[in-house]
A and B are shown apart, each in its own frame.
Chain A
Amino acid sequence: MKIAYMAFVALLPVAAQEFKIPASLDKLADKATEVVDVTLDGSMLQLASRFLSEKDPDEARVKRLVAGLKGIYVKSFEFEKSGEYEESDVAALRSQLKGPGWSRIVGVRSKRNGDNADVFIGSDGGQVTGLVVIAAEPKELTVVSIIGSIKPEDLRDLGGNFGIPKMEIGGHKSTGAKEE
């Protein structure tokens, strides 16, 4: 998986500050037709992990992924029509990730379908300590923040559990076209 490879080569020696999805984003809930809001801090992750089976290969992989994590936070807003959120909402998220220790490994701007997406990696002393995905589509805005130690194979494993098809790690060096 391209993104997993890019994450590995993007590691910086300076510690990244934890990225928190700002509460101000919740204002979008009023305009959204659907909101998904998942907050799993360390204790909830530990609790969930206790109910993951070692015998099930998919669940065992998730158990290993979760072992190094401190939190998973997801906010996703779906709208009836485009234009319901401002570019400034997204810019504010990205500006948080300009600090030390964060690097953007993927930036996609698609004129064809209006999708914009960024993937950021936080690192500390050569270890990945965070992953942030900001997916801004015309009728949907999704922010994912995963805090904790993530290995490149964990990114691959994100695709391998709960029946989702796996993706292969590729050897491409592309950093994504059409970046800002």
Chain B
Amino acid sequence: MAGPGAAERNGEAEATAPTFSDVLRANQGMVFSIAYHFLRDRAAAEEVAQDVFLQLYRSFEELQNGAHAAFWLRRVTSNRSIDYVRKRKLQAAVALEDAPEPSVSEEPGDPMLNRRLRALIGSLPETPRMVMILRYQEDLMPEEIARTLDMPVRTVKSHLQRSLAMLREKIGRSMGDIR
């Protein structure tokens, strides 16, 4: 796997492929966040994130570079998070006041609105929920989301459109219009 980072080999430091630790350190926030925003449960998100990295460790030599690792992590985290919900029939749509939030440094925007939006996203069915998270947390384009979740681009766009429409309507009713 090519990319930045150094690894020790035969006692000499050389610029080589990043180690597992490098990849873990660089991507733990991303993996945890995808799981957390999807599952709305911190302990569950940690459990899923840990499993993802254990799986990464076992598959590490199959990865080609840093970008491939990021793609792999997003895909596996998405799949594992969705599986987690389906297996446990977890109710991720929780009332605003009950939603547990991990301690975070200051977040941008209006905290009340942010919480409301996260709760509404949590109420979406699994697939559109993950599409929204990959779009707005990871800033992926529909084509990239389609590759990550292994679904047609038009399906991704359809999920995005319908989810945005639902959010616009519900936020508009509760907090006034947001265009």
Category for how many chain A residues contact B: under 10
Within 8 A of B (CB), among A154-178: 163
In the complex, which residue of chain B has the Cβ closest to the Cβ of A163? Answer: B25
List 7 contacting pairs A-B, 8 Å CB cutoff, sorted by A: A33-B42, A33-B43, A33-B100, A55-B11, A81-B100, A139-B103, A163-B25
Tell me the bound Cα distance from A34 to B103 in angstroms: 14
Interface residues of B (CB under 8 A from A): 11, 25, 42-43, 46, 100, 103
CB of A84 to closest CB in B, whole Å? 12
B interface majority secondary structure = helix
CB of A80 within 8 A of chain B? yes
On chain B, the residues within 8 Å of A139 by CB distance are: 103
Tell me the bound Cα distance from A101 to B76 in angstroms: 53
Let me know if A34 and B100 touch, CB within 8 A: no
Contact partner of B100 (CB less than 8 A), chosen from A55, A80, A163, is A80
Tell me the bound Cα distance from A80 to B100 in angstroms: 6
CB of B103 to closest CB in A, whole Å? 7
Tell me the bound Cα distance from A130 to B42 in angstroms: 34
In the complex, which residue of chain A has the Cβ closest to the Cβ of B101? Answer: A80
Within 8 A of B (CB), among A50-98: 55, 80-81
- With A55-B11, A139-B103, A163-B25 given, can you name 9 additional A-B contacts, CB distance below 8 Å? A33-B42, A33-B43, A33-B100, A34-B42, A34-B43, A34-B46, A80-B42, A80-B100, A81-B100
On chain B, the residues within 8 Å of A80 by CB distance are: 42, 100
Tell me the bound Cα distance from A74 to B25 in angstroms: 23
- Give 3 closest A-B pairs by Cβ, nearest first: A33-B43, A80-B100, A34-B43
In the complex, which residue of chain B has the Cβ closest to the Cβ of A81? Answer: B100
On chain B, the residues within 8 Å of A81 by CB distance are: 100
On chain A, the residues within 8 Å of B11 by CB distance are: 55
